[in-house]
Amino acid sequence: MTRNRRQERFRNEWAKMADRFQELMQRYRDRVYSFAWYSLRDAEAAADVTQEVFVKLWKNLHRMKSGSPLPWILRVTRNACCDAARKRNSYRSVVQTDEDGQLTDRARSVSPGPDRFAEANEFRERVEHGLAALGEPYRSIVILREILGYEYTEIAQSLELPLNRVKVYLHRGRRRLIKQLEGVVSR
Amino acid sequence: MSERRETIDCQRALDLIESDLDEEVSNQESTALESHVRTCGSCAKERELAARLAETLRELPLLRCPERLVHGLSPLVSVETRRPKRLSRSRGVWASMGKLPRLAAAALVLLAIVGGATWGLRPAQKNEVTPAQLARAREELQWTLAYLTEIGHRTGAILQDEVLARPAIQPVLQPAVILRQRLLEPLQKVSEEVF
């Protein structure tokens, strides 16, 4: 095979990969970004995570010959969020919980007061804070199931957990959130 | 006939509240939960909060990924930013070497191959080499010489046939000891000259 033919073949393969990548990015970018945003509650960090996920996807795309890359994408996003949270080490300073899982005074102090927001918005704000303060894997499972609407089987496949354990973790995650919200609502 | 009513405690009620969010409760369980929350204030509050939480979570919007991210990733997939690795790698190794080092490297490879081949012939018998062993040695030498010729073409270096080729090719019917002597001595001379 001549050098020109090799180059032409290479260019064709590259163009196919690039098309597939663009298609996947178009399909999943909002979901990846949302997953990261609700995990970290930080637009800049969520953008960094999204970029990291798609750079990794491009580098590994040639290995994904068949099947949906969704589980891989969600798993990489979850791991990138955990790394970002660990590096930043400040999401716990924004939203902290005490031993009983209640929001602390410091967390309340950075949240807008009821005079600025309607009650529904404030409740939503509390939910978002509480969600970001949940530990793993509860946070990822609650986001994937309740916000992004994935099936249990998809979540189990993505996080490499048995199906029953996903259900148990989802229940525990909800319980923890409710416990946090009880403290806020009762005041 | 009176209807049998199941009574549940608060722990069971909390479990059912969770299951109810996933719509995984039977009619009987649902009835039991209803009758429990009618008489238990804390479970009723818990149920209301759970339902409100689930509703709030489901109403959280899917966020739009910033466009600048998409544009930022575009150069990543541009074919102009990449060249085939195989082509650049194969040219790079030879391009970085001068003529003399190329010849020296080739001679060393030859030395290693021929030395290994003839050494492998030695343990057969005293001064006795089977025709199969000789044929194999001859084939290996021919490949090695072809390789050296190719190196010569690429580098412009000239390999002397009388030094390498004839003593290597001809002694097919001679014992391995003579083969080694005739082959290794000239090669040692070549390597001494090179270095």
Enter the ipTM: 0.73
State the residue range of the domain holding B113.
97-194
Predicted confidence (pLDDT) at residue A31 exceeds the cutoff of 90: yes
Report yes or no on B74 lying in a domain.
Answer: no
Helix residue ranges per DSSP H, B60-175 = 67-73, 85-95, 99-121, 131-155, 161-169
Report yes or no on B139 lying in a domain.
Answer: yes
Collect all residues of chain A within an 8 Å Cβ-Cβ radius of residue B14: 175
Report yes or no on B44 lying in a domain.
Answer: yes
- Say if residues A145 and A176 touch (Cβ distance below 8 Å): no
Report yes or no on B64 lying in a domain.
Answer: no
pLDDT at A98: 38
Q: Are B57 and A6 an interchain contact pair (Cβ–Cβ within 8 Å)?
A: no
Collect all residues of chain B within an 8 Å Cβ-Cβ radius of residue A31: 62
Check whether residue A121 and residue A180 sit in a common domain: yes
Q: How many helices (H) and strands (E) does chain A have?
A: 9, 0
The contacts of residue A53 (CB under 8 Å, 6+ apart) are A32, A73, A76, A77, A80
Check whether residue A185 and residue A95 sit in a common domain: yes
**Any CB–CB contact under 8 A between A58 and chain B?**
yes
Check whether residue A174 and residue A152 sit in a common domain: yes
Collect all residues of chain B within an 8 Å Cβ-Cβ radius of residue A142: 57
Predicted confidence (pLDDT) at residue A133 exceeds the cutoff of 60: yes
Structural domains of chain B, count: 2
Report yes or no on B68 lying in a domain.
Answer: no
- The closest of A32, A84, A71, A38 to A55, measured between CA atoms, is A32
Task: Enter the tokens of residue A22.
Answer: 């663009």
Check whether residue A68 and residue A116 sit in a common domain: no
Counting one residue from A and one from B, how many pairs have CB atoms under 8 Å apart?
92
Q: Cα B194 from chain centroid?
A: 38
Predicted confidence (pLDDT) at residue A75 exceeds the cutoff of 90: yes
- Say if residues B37 and B43 touch (Cβ distance below 8 Å): yes
Lowest mean pLDDT among A68-77, B14-23, B111-120, B129-138: B111-120
Query: Higher-confidence residue: B130 or A113?
Result: B130
- Among B57, B78, B83, most A C-beta atoms within 10 A, so best to mutate, is B57
Lowest mean pLDDT among A95-104, A151-160, B94-103: A95-104
- Say if residues A180 and B49 touch (Cβ distance below 8 Å): no
State the residue range of the domain holding A184.
91-187
- The closest of A129, A124, A130, A128 to A101, measured between CA atoms, is A130
Q: Are A175 and B46 an interchain contact pair (Cβ–Cβ within 8 Å)?
A: no
Predicted confidence (pLDDT) at residue B169 exceeds the cutoff of 70: no
**Any CB–CB contact under 8 A between A168 and chain B?**
no
Report yes or no on B67 lying in a domain.
Answer: no
Q: Cα B188 from chain centroid?
A: 39
Check whether residue B190 and residue B115 sit in a common domain: yes
Structural domains of chain A, count: 2
- Residue pLDDT, tens place only, B57-109: 888 888 888 888 877 777 776 655 554 444 444 445 555 566 677 778 778 88
Whole-number average pLDDT of chain A:
79
pTM: 0.59
- The closest of A137, A139, A125 to A181, measured between CA atoms, is A125
pLDDT at B3: 46
Task: Enter the tokens of residue A80.
Answer: 């990138």
Report yes or no on B80 lying in a domain.
Answer: no
Q: Are A33 and B77 an interchain contact pair (Cβ–Cβ within 8 Å)?
A: no
**Domain CATH code at residue A181:** 1.10.10.10
Residue range B164-175: mean pLDDT, rounded? 49
Check whether residue B110 and residue B179 sit in a common domain: yes
pLDDT at A93: 42
pLDDT at A34: 93
Closest partner residue to B56 among A30, A38, A124, by Cβ? A124
Percent with pLDDT over 90 in chain A: 26
Whole-number average pLDDT of chain B:
70
Predicted confidence (pLDDT) at residue A129 exceeds the cutoff of 80: yes
Check whether residue B55 and residue B117 sit in a common domain: no
**In the block, which residue shows the tokens 């806020």?**
A184
Give residue A74's pLDDT band: very low, low, confident or very high (50, 70, 90).
very high
CA torsion through residues A98, A101, A102, A107, sign: positive
Report yes or no on B158 lying in a domain.
Answer: yes
* Environment class of B103 (CB within 10 Å of its CB; exposed 0-12, middle 13-18, buried 19+): buried
Element at B185 (helix H, strand E): helix B176-194
What is the distance in angstroms between the Cα of A156 and the nearest Cα belonging to chain B? 16
Q: Are B60 and A15 an interchain contact pair (Cβ–Cβ within 8 Å)?
A: no
Check whether residue B101 and residue B188 sit in a common domain: yes
A89, A109, A134 — which closes off a domain?
Answer: A89
pLDDT at B184: 63
Check whether residue A56 and residue A2 sit in a common domain: yes
Select, from the ranges A12-16, A93-97, A127-131, B159-163, the one with the highest average predicted confidence (pLDDT): A127-131
